[in-house]
Amino acid sequence: MYDKLERVILPMFYSRPDAWATVMRFAISLNGSYFNAHRMLSQYVESAYAAVPTRAAVPAVAGAQDPAHQT
């Protein structure tokens, strides 16, 4: 990877900016549909909140009271 960076990427960036821009446009068009805020947010919500059990799914402990119903 470092060899490719040293021999291909950096020389293109410094000596052929038009070619560099073409490569960057292609990379953005290829990956832009996957790397976006909507996908990241939906993936975060799925992985962070989908595994959390709801209150109804948690079994009640014998003798425990619901704090909402305490007097």
13-66 confidence digits (pLDDT tens):
999 999 999 999 999 999 888 888 888 898 888 888 876 666 665 565 555 565
How far is Cα 23 from Cα 61, in angstroms, rounded to an integer? 60
DSSP 50: T
**Cβ–Cβ < 8 Å for 13, 20:** yes
How far is Cα 35 from Cα 30, in angstroms, rounded to an integer? 10
Q: Which of 68, 66, 46, 48 is nearest to 58 (CA)?
A: 66
Instruction: Name the pTM for this structure.
Output: 0.49
Q: Which of 42, 46, 68 is nearest to 55 (CA)?
A: 68
